[in-house]
Chain A
């Protein structure tokens, strides 16, 4: 087992969300996805703090969208985001609503982008010494 890191370190060292494969053609096809990721990150940096926590779901709509684009690419990401925004209306009961699994896979918590860690906090906390195992067991549903 490698040396354990604190949650703060894990977050600070997390790789970025952008999808950068090798090769010109594959990079070109990833442009829409990366543009959307950049816009969402900008929104989350500037607009989200102004509102505070207002979403009736966990993760919030913008966190959901960012993860969807990061993990599933531009087309599925857009579809998932639109369907979530339609689900987030004043009559909805809210609750926990995760991005479906699939798409990009991340081999270890250390290689997982920040937004995925934030949206699956217990998965990330399990891998750090901060969080005892019973914690993770109680939140088994958290695993993707």
Chain B
């Protein structure tokens, strides 16, 4: 057993335990233990459990991403300041100022990858457990908490005639048409949810200043590239894994929508929408108390009532004007 497997072992155990609990639960309430639908529901249950557990990580990631977006204009200034300075000391000075900037905004790009790193073993464990099912069934083995009998049921279960462990490239000995259609539907669903998730983040939840940065253009490109990569990778996943990913992406989309709706970035489209909704309910805009908001409104009204500001007049002209009026 190598180091990688050793790290994954506890995660794989947890994945098998969650699957086992859901399977027992569904059997208890009268579902057919061998039915493909039961096993699909087990995978869906597993997804929901995993995503619920990683909500705090998601929030951290969102916060960090937002910080990165907000510091883009300052970062561009910094890059302009050191433009053309290629010597090592200048590079070091730039690195230092960048680090100070990250710290100030509380978002370090090297810290931002943490949520992804933490989610990695969970996904790998799940992927390995699901992938090892056909092999384990052949050898009549258990997978951690899943008994050999359960592994057999899991391996042989079908959904609409398509084996859960067939892939688009290797449809196995079930209903090939069903496998292909199911895989395609899920690949499209995955790509679409991924696309929508990314799009609502960039289009609705970025401040206008962040939209003018080169990073925004890069993200725009990612927006169109990612679903393509996803679709290409998706053909090699077994249907069971595709179910996990699709549900997971749907969850992400919902999570994203909720966060953007209720806690948008400052100066973004979503914040304007939130403030409109709040105004309709008679609430002050976010980040302002009712009193502050009223004071601001009164001030605005007074300014509007006062009409056009009188232009300042030089002393010379003042005299001339007063003479004209008197004479």
Residues of chain A whose beta carbon lies under 8 Å from any beta carbon of chain B:
6-8, 10-11, 53-58, 90-96, 117-119, 121-122, 124-125, 128, 130, 139, 142
- A-side binding surface: helix, strand, loop or mixed? mixed
Q: Could you tell me how many residues of chain B have their Cβ less than 8 Å away from some Cβ of chain A?
A: 19
B88 touches A118 (CB 8 A): yes
Among listed B103-111, B211-219, B316-324, interface-contacting one: B103-111
Set of chain A residues within 8 Å of B31, measured between Cβ atoms: none
* Interchain pairs with CB closer than 8 A, number: 70
Instruction: Report B258 CB to chain A, min CB distance, Å.
Output: 25
Please pick, from B93, B103, B114, the residue contacting A122 in the complex, using a CB distance under 8 A: B93
B103 nearest CB neighbor, chain A only: A95
A58 touches B89 (CB 8 A): no
Contact string against A for B residues 109-134, beta-carbon threshold 8 Å, 1 for contact and 0 otherwise: 01100100100000000000000000
Please pick, from A6, A94, A125, the residue contacting B93 in the complex, using a CB distance under 8 A: A125
A7 touches B95 (CB 8 A): no
- B-side binding surface: helix, strand, loop or mixed? helix
- Bound complex: CA of A119 vs CA of B92, how far in Å? 7
B106 touches A7 (CB 8 A): no
- Bound complex: CA of A8 vs CA of B97, how far in Å? 20
Asked whether any CB of chain A lies closer than 8 Å to the CB of B49, the reply is no
- Bound complex: CA of A113 vs CA of B290, how far in Å? 59
- Bound complex: CA of A10 vs CA of B89, how far in Å? 10
Set of chain B residues within 8 Å of A117, measured between Cβ atoms: 89
A118 touches B110 (CB 8 A): no
Please pick, from A58, A91, A92, A128, the residue contacting B96 in the complex, using a CB distance under 8 A: A58
A56 touches B110 (CB 8 A): yes
B111 touches A94 (CB 8 A): yes
- Bound complex: CA of A25 vs CA of B89, how far in Å? 37
Asked whether any CB of chain A lies closer than 8 Å to the CB of B20, the reply is no
Please pick, from A8, A91, A93, A95, the residue contacting B100 in the complex, using a CB distance under 8 A: A95
B103 touches A11 (CB 8 A): no
